[in-house]
Amino acid sequence: MPRRPGGRMQSTRPTLIGARVPRIEDDRLLTGRGRYIADVVRPGMVEAAFVRSELPHAEVRAVDTSAALGSPGVHAAFSGADLPIGPLPDLVEWVRPVRQSLLAHERVRYVGCPLAVVVADDRYLAEDAAELVDVELEPLPTVATADAALAADAPLLYPEWGDNLLLSMAPENPAVDAAFERFRTISGTYTTQRHAAAPLETRGVVAEHDGDRLTVWISTQAAHLVRTMLAGVLGLAERDVRVITPDVGGGFGQKNQLYPEDYLVPWLAMRLRRPVRWIEDRHEHLLTSCHARDTRIELSAAVREDGTIAALRGRVRTDLGSGEAFPGGFGPSLVAVGSLCGPYRIPHQCVAVEGVVTNKTPLGGYRGYGMPEGTFAIERLVDKIGRELGIDPLDLRRRMILDPDDLPYETAAGARLDSGSHRAAFERAVEIGERMLAEERERAEPGAHLGVGYATYIEGVAASAFSVTGIRSGQDSADLRFDPDGGVTVAVGISAMGQGAHTSVATLVAEALALPIDQVRVVMGDTDTAPFGLGSYASRSAVVAGGAIAQAAEVLRRKGTEIAAHLLEAAPEDLELADGGFQVRGSPGSAVPWAQIARVALTRTFELPPGTAPGLDARASYEPPGIDHGPRPDGKMNAAANYTNSTHAAVVEVDPGTGVVRVRRYAAVHDCGRVINPLTVAGQIHGGVAQGIGGALHEQLPYEDGQPLATTFADYALPTAGEIPDITTEELCSPAPEIPFGIKGAGEAGIIGPPAAIASAVEHALGVTGVDTTPLTPSAVRRLIEEARS
């Protein structure tokens, strides 16, 4: 029978992939029927509150919980010295161990570090009692910045290390050295500030132990990873731990981390033999949930006479805070190195990495995961090269950007690009950007300072996480099960956190089996009902779930073909998938629906073909091909399954009197392979761009001598709807040749481009140079203007 590439049977119905299908999860969420972690209430439940360090660096002399234990409604109070569990395992062997305690009992290394926990009838009583815990800390000198941490006489956060480097990588590349000896050098230093994901829903955990099994409800992006880690730390068999993820009000990588509270609340439930809940407040969230970015990239290019780059070298230095994070906060630094070459023909690079510990909240994951930082550095450097050589920066990019004939192409870092529309996306974005600037100039008051800027990049999707976890590789699973009425239940190991995962999964199942989408029920986020999976991060969900769905669906199609052929008294090779079942090719009247096939397979088994087993279900696990889980002998690494590409255009208006930057128009021309649902992809891009604008202009987490200065939304400036312009998105389509359905991923693309595009636009608007640091707050812009005048 005719089959599509990859073994798929031909279908006679129009494809669902690419259709603008309304998201199936939205009605429930928008009508208030969502169930988030704070909605989980168990009989007899008590609540926890934490005592946290007010000092950034100190030795713990004593933590006395006796007064708290005598407070009304209190059931328990524990300090670090009381805990029989911990420290947490250090699973990544190639970085230094931090031996993180669940409650600090020897040393605190950041403000907000948990010292004790109090459990009471409700949160109010728990917090009142927590104030009675007597903590004695002996202050230690504060390590305030990454530069200070590397000074010869710097205080040490981990004295056994001998310095403050969690990791230090200094590769060598003779080809890079040769290029720098031969060609002119142009350099720059590019800094991305510390900020945070700030999801609408903070973190939270509810745990219950029934004497046999532990059930944990948690707001996370990776339920099975939580189960694995909980079982290991608490000394339980994984089969005796059930992890349930309710609706998640935003994850953005910050909920891909595991935190001390995630272990402590389940331990408390086991110890007290009653359900325990902890819901993080916003102050706690900004203090203790992992921060992000805080990276300085020193980058130099060996530049040929025509401006093209022969080689890159430099250093990525990241302030990791205390380093007490899992997965490790050093991961984005590695991704930044891998993204520096972008979609350009740059044959060689050699970039060092330094992960420095300081007395700040630990660094972790955030949407983009190093790619915004790397893109900001290379795009700013390309603009600088163009200025210094008198070459239009757009023409310089045209000289380096990949053409279709260059593909497949391996970057200097080892990324294998097998498809993409790098030049087409760039040219289209420039066309849109010039038009938007002209239109804004027509509307603007005389003398308005308007400018346009661009950023072009690639995004690795479905990446391996082994190098930052020591336990996660790249696979995921799917179970497909027909019911007797012809409906299908699909269970997948990925997680939903607002990105439209239910709709994407249902679409792919309906597409693979030629079913209406409303006949597909999606299950995820429960380790008892979903097959083992690694969760949702790194724009991986559609790729890995889609691959597993394609393989499981192929099993069902083959069995369905055998049963249909038997019922129709036809040869299997004469059948084709039709809308809702199978038909004899060219004879629509000779058809069998899936409902009839399911009834035969599940209830009327006497009608099955001889030798065919009952049942109509299949499970498959899928790992995308070609992923490196560690560096190859040449030091290169293809860490992702595939790579999207995009170019962004930003039009800004700058008020030179106040320094206020307003993004007037924004466009993203994006290529994520075959688009499952244009509405979902547009939503992903819009949301990412909004976060990118926030990071470029507003959001920051400043510290003064280890004390955080933005611990509420009164101080942490998130963009509002008034700061986000209308966003134009256009999708190109370069199907991934080795991935089922030809899909790639779209979860992080929107956030990567705004910092670089907006910085370039501000330079254009003001006629200044040196916009090399974010955020571009009014005071920062005013300083740029004053420096230019002087």
> Would you say residue 8 has pLDDT above 90?
no
How much is the average pLDDT of 587-599? 94
Nearest to 209 by CA among 246, 245, 234: 234
* Run of H or E including 454: strand 449-461
Is residue 188 included in any domain, yes or no?
A: no
| Contact indicator for 386, 453 with CB cutoff of 8 Å | no
What does the pLDDT look like over 398-434, one tens digit per residue?
999 999 999 999 999 999 999 999 999 999 999 999 9
* Run of H or E including 560: helix 541-568
- Angle value at C-alpha 764, between 185 and 314, nearest 5 degrees: 25
Q: Which two tokens stand for residue 287?
A: 């203090």
pTM comes to 0.96
What does the pLDDT look like over 647-665, one tens digit per residue?
999 999 999 999 999 999 9
Supply the pLDDT for residue 12: 57
Q: What amino acid is encoded at 407 in this protein?
A: L
- Angle value at C-alpha 30, between 28 and 36, nearest 5 degrees: 70
Same domain, 668 and 752: yes
Is residue 643 included in any domain, yes or no?
A: yes
Q: Residue 547, CB half-sphere, CA atoms under 13 Å: how many?
A: 24
> Would you say residue 11 has pLDDT above 80?
no
Inter-helix orientation angle 678-697/754-766, to 10°: 50
Q: How confident is the model at residue 760 (pLDDT cuts 50, 70, 90)?
A: very high
Q: What amino acid is encoded at 502 in this protein?
A: H
| Contact indicator for 460, 416 with CB cutoff of 8 Å | no
Q: DSSP assignment, residue 532? A: P
How much is the average pLDDT of 307-327? 98
Is residue 319 included in any domain, yes or no?
A: yes
Supply the pLDDT for residue 10: 57
Domain holding 252, by residue range, is: 37-140+197-288
Cα–chain center distance at 327: 12
| Contact indicator for 367, 257 with CB cutoff of 8 Å | no
d(CA 703, CA 25): 40
Same domain, 423 and 483: no
Nearest to 620 by CA among 481, 465, 464: 481
DSSP for 411-431 reads: -TT--EE----HHHHHHHHHH
Is residue 721 included in any domain, yes or no?
A: yes
User: Can you tell me whether residue 249 is helix, strand or coil?
Assistant: coil
d(CA 661, CA 784): 13
> Would you say residue 500 has pLDDT above 90?
yes
Same domain, 86 and 133: yes
Is residue 6 included in any domain, yes or no?
A: no
d(CA 53, CA 104): 9
Q: How confident is the model at residue 1 (pLDDT cuts 50, 70, 90)?
A: very low
What does the pLDDT look like over 336-346, one tens digit per residue?
999 999 999 99
Please name the residue that has the structure tokens 């050098």.
Answer: 185
Q: What amino acid is encoded at 205 in this protein?
A: V
Residue 222 CA: distances (Å) to CA of 239, 574, 770:
17, 44, 41
> Would you say residue 131 has pLDDT above 60?
yes
Same domain, 522 and 587: yes
Is residue 505 included in any domain, yes or no?
A: yes
What does the pLDDT look like over 272-282, one tens digit per residue?
999 999 999 99
| Contact indicator for 300, 180 with CB cutoff of 8 Å | yes
> Would you say residue 2 has pLDDT above 60?
no
d(CA 258, CA 364): 10
Same domain, 610 and 687: no
How much is the average pLDDT of 721-737? 96
Residue 553 CA: distances (Å) to CA of 232, 547, 556:
34, 10, 5
CATH code, 522: 3.30.365.10
Q: Residue 683, CB half-sphere, CA atoms under 13 Å: how many?
A: 16
Same domain, 300 and 441: yes
Supply the pLDDT for residue 3: 41
- Angle value at C-alpha 38, between 32 and 41, nearest 5 degrees: 100
> Would you say residue 7 has pLDDT above 70?
no
- For the chain, the domain total comes to 3
Q: What amino acid is encoded at 543 in this protein?
A: V
Q: Which two tokens stand for residue 692?
A: 């990118």
Q: How confident is the model at residue 14 (pLDDT cuts 50, 70, 90)?
A: confident
* Domain endpoint, select from 229, 256, 288: 288
- Report, in this order, helix, strand and coil percent for the chain, each rounded to 5: 30, 25, 40
Same domain, 493 and 600: yes
CB atoms within 10 A of CB 599: 19
d(CA 594, CA 457): 44
* Domain endpoint, select from 288, 303, 329: 288
* Domain endpoint, select from 254, 288, 322: 288
> Would you say residue 452 has pLDDT above 50?
yes
Count of residues in the chain: 790
Q: Which two tokens stand for residue 27?
A: 């009605």
d(CA 14, CA 19): 10
Is residue 14 included in any domain, yes or no?
A: no
> Would you say residue 5 has pLDDT above 50?
no
What does the pLDDT look like over 516-526, one tens digit per residue?
999 999 999 99
d(CA 204, CA 258): 11
Q: DSSP assignment, residue 38? A: G
Same domain, 489 and 613: yes
Same domain, 212 and 112: yes
d(CA 56, CA 61): 15
User: Can you tell me whether residue 276 is helix, strand or coil?
Assistant: strand
Who contacts 562 (Cβ-Cβ below 8 Å, separation ≥6)?
A: 572, 609, 612
Sheet harboring 642-654: ordered strands across? 449-461, 642-654, 661-671, 727-732
| Per-residue exposure over 79-109, b if at least 16 CB sit within 10 Å of its own CB, e if not | bbeebeebebeebbeebbbbebbbbbbebbb
Same domain, 636 and 747: yes
Inter-helix orientation angle 393-400/422-443, to 10°: 160
* Mean pLDDT value across the chain: 96
Same domain, 257 and 344: no
User: Can you tell me whether residue 695 is helix, strand or coil?
Assistant: helix
Q: DSSP assignment, residue 166? A: E
Supply the pLDDT for residue 588: 83
How much is the average pLDDT of 300-321? 98
Supply the pLDDT for residue 589: 86
d(CA 114, CA 305): 56
CATH code, 123: 3.90.1170.50
* Run of H or E including 576: strand 575-578
How much is the average pLDDT of 177-188? 98
d(CA 671, CA 461): 12
d(CA 6, CA 546): 13
| Contact indicator for 676, 742 with CB cutoff of 8 Å | no
Same domain, 708 and 765: yes
Is residue 274 included in any domain, yes or no?
A: yes
Cα–chain center distance at 652: 27
d(CA 339, CA 372): 9
> Would you say residue 90 has pLDDT above 70?
yes
Q: How confident is the model at residue 9 (pLDDT cuts 50, 70, 90)?
A: low
d(CA 375, CA 710): 27
d(CA 328, CA 319): 12
Burial class (CB in 10 A: 0-12, 13-18, 19+), 305: exposed
> Would you say residue 318 has pLDDT above 90?
yes
User: Can you tell me whether residue 190 is helix, strand or coil?
Assistant: strand
d(CA 766, CA 758): 12
The strand ranges marked E within 623-717 are 642-654, 661-671, 703-704, 707-708
